[in-house]
Structure 1
Amino acid sequence: MSNKLILRLTLLLVLVSSCKKDFLEKEQYGAVPTSKAILTVDDMEAALNGTYAGLRNPTLFGRTIPIFGDLMADNVYISNDNSNRYLDFFYVNMTVNNANARDLWQDGYNVILNANNVINCALTSTEKIDEFRGEAYALRALMYFELVKHFAQPYTVSPNALGVPIITKYDPTLKPPRNTVSEVYAQIENDLTTAINLMTQERSSGYFTRYAATALLARMHLYKGEWAEALEAAEDVISNSGYSLLKINQVQGYWSSNTARKDKLETLFEVVNDLSGNAGIDALAYFYDQVGYGDALVAESFYTLFTDNDVRKTLILPSSPIRGDVRVVNKYPNSSQPDKDEVKIIRMSEVYLTAAEAAYQLGDEAQALEYVNAVATQRMAGFTGYKSTGSALLSDILLERRKELAFEGHRYWDYARYHQDVVRIDVNGEYTGAPLIIEADYFRRILPIPQAELDANPNIRGQQNPGY
């Protein structure tokens, strides 16, 4: 990353709440200029909360990251009546001057640099300081995970390909080249392991905890195809975290709620959008909700996968009073409320499905069925569970992932890590003008390194992703 860009990003200010609460009870993210020297525990907490606040930026988890994972795949499409947002992802025609790629890169590194500020502060170990530092390590890992996914080849395809630059300390002279995908994943794993060892406190769902970091570690191993490690981490969360899966009668209420959770039900980690801080009309909910932009609609081919006894079908409205006979995402119903929908990042259902997939890949089909059915039987009334074997069982597990995690940004990455073509099924002209098959090796399956970064950093200038 260039000297010019690092200086600009580290000097960015994030708003902070001045309310004084116990550090384990705070509901909203605070904020301070994260470039301010951290001299006290209060300084550290404020800088950490500013780092959390960065996640809800619409260029990151506030909108772009979850949108990318569905628009680049086959769960949703862009309405002909749209606000001109994210057409590049839908049509898969990104260029080196793509604003979405540029902002994801710049704001992603802003989160990393702010996390570095917390990690590297000179305060010595106490319970609070260890907790805060551990959360900063987890946040840095999360952001590196997203950057290497979006800007580099999947680990399961090419671990020695160029990844993204690893920056762990502030250095105004730094102009780093890209590290390899493998090196970035090693940094992520090291950060998560460190975070898990430092964090001991219970927090609401708006903050990282030991088990949220462990769940992210399970996801990382899944994306690497490290099945034994993925299963071990997932089972640690399932057996020891105290978090529970949603029951079938809780699903609708869960998704209509716009409050961070303390009850250990389903949500391990989410981005909080509350009265004190949210993206307003730039939030994820506004992109889906028909009272907002309502640009992204549910593909008919996906909607028909839900049986009538599947409670998740209620999270898709069968029609719109504005657009007529179209299918509408209903996971984010609070776009018109002052207190917006939270953006789920890690849920227990995903952890169970990770365990199911990893167990299958390790040859334990009985265990795989146990984990996938733990989710499926609590989504489909009267369903007694899958009984499939062999490749059909893997298909069932991936189908449950698709249905359970829809509109949360996961679908595309399942295609990517299995190195599969994305196949969109066009019904009623939903994908008119957009590619119906996005081949696994198509160069635009990953984003370009932004031209602004190439111009500013000579050490990355010759490291653009092939094809751009």
Structure 2
Amino acid sequence: MRNIYVISIGLGLMVGLGSCNKEFLEQSNPNSVSVDKALKTENDVSLAVNGAYQALRSSNCVGEGASLWTDDRADDVNTTDNQSNNGEPFQFTAFALLASNTYLQSHWTALYVPISRANLVLSVIDKITFADNAVKTQYIAELKFIRAFMYFNLVREFGGVPLVTERLSSLDDVNKATFRETRENVYAQIIKDLVDVVGSNLPNVQPAAGKGRVSLQAANALLGQVYLTMATTLDAASKTANLNNAKTYLMACYNMRGFSKLSDIPFADVFDVNKKNTNQEIIWQIVYKQGDPTYRSSLAASNQAKGETINSLAPSQGAGGTFTNDLLKEFETGDLRTDYSVKYANDPAVKAYFITKFRDNSAAATNLGYGGNDWILIRYADVILNLAEVFMQLNDNATAITYLDMVRARAARPLYAVMMADPAYAFYPAKYPTLKLAILHERRIELAFEHHRWHDLIRFFTPAELVAYIRAKSQADYNNSPLSNITTKDYYFPIPLNEYKLNPEKMPQNPGYD
């Protein structure tokens, strides 16, 4: 019974600040034990650290099903059904998001669960004896990374949020923590945690048995991405310093790679379930277990279209994983990624393209669709395109193009200079006349359906620029979600209504959602 309690205990102390109340905290369970008594041994800590990782799997958090706050919110995937579930999923793609949206509240809560679990373990870990102190310091680094990653998602999506780095064990603790910190202070904590992690004794690369755990590769990549986001979304006076810091950590990650050229790793291999533990492009992933009813991946089966077997042996009666025509128009003919990522389903009930990027049609996955696809959170193509972005922002276009071309070369695409100079290739310079737009295009195709798009858009554009970018698109390519709805308020999600009501003065609503 103790093992189950250790894994779930963080949820009871703070599942989103709005979920705590006096009655809940004062309830007494005669079968429960205090945290200090539950976490007494190295094995207890190991289980609790696993519990922090486990919380990432939720589709309300950052797991494989977390498309609503990323790809759906952006211009890649469109939730067209404005009736089911009270129309709440539709609000994300229609830029009509309400603070009372229950999916939004679930997302906020799910992002705080790993934070609370990390804080809980960190509060007691120094009191516990380890056979090898190096194991303890690695656990500390992993928990700080998870906490930083969650706050990075929170600050990008909501702006300033409550910043909690200590264990909350009383109503008074919760009340003191219930206020929105500035974005700058949230980023400062993220950097503080990640600097500790990159200076830790974590391995550069996790061995096959440790896949899914944090490495120094992942820590450097994330810290570089944080600095890059700060450079383009915070005070312009600090932009150059933040860009140089981004370059430092992204290059540190790049120099830890185990391959020579990105083109040495075929694009299809990145998503091959038989190579997920050995593929050197994958930096950090959430591990799913093939054939297991509880820990399997549902990606392949859920994206399968009727009449098709390319993704999974599980039969489908629907259209599978759909996406906007706006995205379809960006896939280039002859691009290896096009043929691997999407396919036209010719069944009379479908007659449309569907997502094929995530496949497991092996017998081991069974006809129930219990796939073995891991959910990739960070990989080297992402880091390489981040480097292209950094050098572009530093006005070093030549170096930026070098990194951009690494990704295009693997996709069997003409290199940037060739495209821009070739009148026969008018598609590219006509649609992407600037290096900035070319890099954004490359990220859209390379990382399609991997839950990066919304975060890319808010990093590449100011609120006003984002509104202009979305409104310039063809409504016909965006189904029934009105593009004209988007305003500068949509740069951030609203603070969930339950959180706002806790203390309207200290938890003020984001502009435009009042």
TM-score when normalising by structure 1: 0.82
- 1:137-176 map, 5 Å: 137-152=144-159, 163-171=160-168, 172=170, 173-174=172-173, 175=175, 176=177
Cα distance in 1 for partners of 2:293, 2:219 equals 24
Instruction: Please report how far the alpha carbon of residue 241 of structure 1 lies from its aligned counterpart in structure 2 after TM superposition.
Output: 4.0
- CA spacing shift, 1:440–1:269, aligned 2, 3 Å: farther
- CA spacing shift, 1:105–1:56, aligned 2, 3 Å: same
The answer to whether 1:393 aligns with 2:435 is yes
Instruction: Please report how far the alpha carbon of residue 414 of structure 1 lies from its aligned counterpart in structure 2 after TM superposition.
Output: 2.3
2:337 paired residue number: 312
Cα distance in 1 for partners of 2:141, 2:101 equals 34
Q: Is the 8 A contact 1:94 1:448 kept in 2?
A: yes
- 1:368-383 map, 5 Å: 368-380=400-412, 383=414
- 1:357-436 map, 5 Å: 357-380=389-412, 383-386=414-417, 392-417=434-459, 418-419=461-462, 420-421=466-467, 422-423=469-470, 425-426=473-474, 429=476, 431-436=478-483
Instruction: Please report how far the alpha carbon of residue 73 of structure 1 lies from its aligned counterpart in structure 2 after TM superposition.
Output: 1.7
Q: What secondary structure sits across from 2:199 in the alignment?
A: helix
From 483, 493, 498, the equivalent of 1:447 is 493
Instruction: Please report how far the alpha carbon of residue 218 of structure 1 lies from its aligned counterpart in structure 2 after TM superposition.
Output: 1.1
1:70 paired residue number: 71
1:41 paired residue number: 42
- 1:156-235 map, 5 Å: 163-171=160-168, 172=170, 173-174=172-173, 175=175, 176=177, 177-201=179-203, 202-203=205-206, 204-225=210-231, 226-235=242-251
- CA spacing shift, 1:144–1:460, aligned 2, 3 Å: farther
1:106 paired residue number: 109
Cα distance in 2 for partners of 1:139, 1:7 equals 30
Q: Is the 8 A contact 1:269 1:344 kept in 2?
A: yes
1:155 paired residue number: none
- 1:57-96 map, 5 Å: 57-63=58-64, 65-79=66-80, 86-96=89-99
Q: What secondary structure sits across from 1:401 in the alignment?
A: helix
Instruction: Please report how far the alpha carbon of residue 399 of structure 1 lies from its aligned counterpart in structure 2 after TM superposition.
Output: 1.1
- CA spacing shift, 1:92–1:351, aligned 2, 3 Å: same
- CA spacing shift, 1:222–1:140, aligned 2, 3 Å: same
Instruction: Please report how far the alpha carbon of residue 326 of structure 1 lies from its aligned counterpart in structure 2 after TM superposition.
Output: 1.5
Instruction: Please report how far the alpha carbon of residue 273 of structure 1 lies from its aligned counterpart in structure 2 after TM superposition.
Output: 2.0
Paired AA for residue 150 in structure 2? M
Cα distance in 2 for partners of 1:278, 1:386 equals 49
Paired AA for residue 238 in structure 1? Y
**For 1:340-392, what per-residue CA distance to the aligned partner results, in whole angstroms no more than 9, with x for missing partners?**
422211110010001111011112122111111111100125x3444559962
The answer to whether 1:349 aligns with 2:381 is yes
- 1:6-25 map, 5 Å: none
1:463 paired residue number: 508
Q: What secondary structure sits across from 1:327 in the alignment?
A: strand
**For 1:174-193, what per-residue CA distance to the aligned partner results, in whole angstroms no more than 9, with x for missing partners?**
22211011111111111111
1:301 paired residue number: 326
Cα distance in 1 for partners of 2:399, 2:259 equals 20
Gaps of 5+ in 2: 1-16, 28-33, 232-241, 306-315, 422-431
2:312 paired residue number: none
Q: Determine which structure has greater relative contact order: mean sequence separation of CA pairs < 8 Å that are 6+ residues apart, divided by chain length.
A: 1
Instruction: Please report how far the alpha carbon of residue 453 of structure 1 lies from its aligned counterpart in structure 2 after TM superposition.
Output: 2.3
- CA spacing shift, 1:446–1:332, aligned 2, 3 Å: same
From 235, 248, 251, the equivalent of 2:267 is 251
Q: Is the 8 A contact 1:35 1:117 kept in 2?
A: no
1:136 paired residue number: 143
Paired AA for residue 206 in structure 1? G
Q: Is the 8 A contact 2:96 2:485 kept in 1?
A: no
> Which structure carries more helix by proportion?
2
Cα distance in 1 for partners of 2:257, 2:293 equals 29
Paired AA for residue 202 in structure 2? T
2:355 paired residue number: 329
238-247 or 103-112, which deviates more? 238-247
Q: What secondary structure sits across from 2:449 in the alignment?
A: coil
Cα distance in 2 for partners of 1:462, 1:395 equals 36
Cα distance in 1 for partners of 2:98, 2:37 equals 36
Paired AA for residue 368 in structure 1? A
Instruction: Please report how far the alpha carbon of residue 139 of structure 1 lies from its aligned counterpart in structure 2 after TM superposition.
Output: 0.3
**For 1:91-137, what per-residue CA distance to the aligned partner results, in whole angstroms no more than 9, with x for missing partners?**
22221221111111112111100011222222368111111110000
Paired AA for residue 464 in structure 1? Q
Q: Is the 8 A contact 2:148 2:189 kept in 1?
A: yes
Gaps of 5+ in 1: 12-32, 153-162
Cα distance in 2 for partners of 1:193, 1:6 equals 37
Q: Is the 8 A contact 1:67 1:408 kept in 2?
A: no
Cα distance in 2 for partners of 1:210, 1:190 equals 15
Q: What secondary structure sits across from 2:62 in the alignment?
A: coil
Q: What secondary structure sits across from 2:283 in the alignment?
A: strand
- CA spacing shift, 1:402–1:215, aligned 2, 3 Å: same
| Matched pairs, number | 430
Cα distance in 2 for partners of 1:83, 1:386 equals 48
Instruction: Please report how far the alpha carbon of residue 244 of structure 1 lies from its aligned counterpart in structure 2 after TM superposition.
Output: 6.4
Paired AA for residue 353 in structure 1? L
Q: Sequence identity of aligned pairs in percent?
A: 26
- CA spacing shift, 1:320–1:57, aligned 2, 3 Å: farther
1:274 paired residue number: 289
Cα distance in 2 for partners of 1:52, 1:61 equals 11
Instruction: Please report how far the alpha carbon of residue 324 of structure 1 lies from its aligned counterpart in structure 2 after TM superposition.
Output: 2.5
TM-score when normalising by structure 2: 0.75
Instruction: Please report how far the alpha carbon of residue 169 of structure 1 lies from its aligned counterpart in structure 2 after TM superposition.
Output: 0.9
Cα distance in 1 for partners of 2:379, 2:222 equals 10
Q: Is the 8 A contact 2:228 2:246 kept in 1?
A: yes
Cα distance in 2 for partners of 1:6, 1:259 equals 50
